[in-house]
Amino acid sequence: MQYINTIANDGIRFKPYLLKEVYAVADDNNSKFGEKIYSQDAIELGRVDVSGEYIDRVQEGFRAVVSYGLGTTYMGNYRNIGAGKTGTSQSFIDTDGNGVVDTETITTSFVGYAPYDDPRFSIVVISPDVAEAGTDTTSSINKRVSSKLVNKYFELYG
């Protein structure tokens, strides 16, 4: 998660946290949130020591993945404003619990952020052992999960 956020934030690495803000219950039916009662400030942990042009190039590649590459459907209805990267790796598991790794599988992942030019959220979806290696069967669970989450985010927060 930190690497996708560092890329989204132009090479600045921030301390991760689980809770950004807490709001009281809204007093009326017209408001989504009541008064803010807690807020976590961003804490910078460091910066990537490379030229900004290299970070820009990686960001452009991530944008291409969801705009017209293999990740076009991972950002739901918002692929033209996001950035991301799909991934596939070999994994090895012990299927019968005897301490011997006996099955090679495929693990898939997706990382992304949006909007591309002013990131407000990031997403990481990992599906371990979704298929046995060497088979044509793969799961589209990452695509379905990330698409629904991105759509819901923009439905709630615009």
Rounded distance between C-alpha atoms, residue 146 and residue 121, angstroms: 12
pTM of the model: 0.82
Q: Which segment of 26-35, 44-53, 138-147 scores lowest on mean pLDDT? A: 26-35
pLDDT value, residue 137: 56
| Tens of pLDDT, residues 97-140 | 999 998 888 888 999 999 999 999 999 999 888 776 666 656 68
Say which residues have a Cβ less than 8 Å from residue 9's Cβ, sequence separation at least 6: 119
Contacts of 115 by beta carbon, 8 Å cutoff, 6+ apart: 81, 82
Q: In this prediction, what percent of the chain has a pLDDT beyond 90?
A: 58
Q: Distance between CA 10 and CA 113 in Å, rounded?
A: 12
Question: Which residue, 1, 7, 2, 14, is CA-closest to 116?
Answer: 7
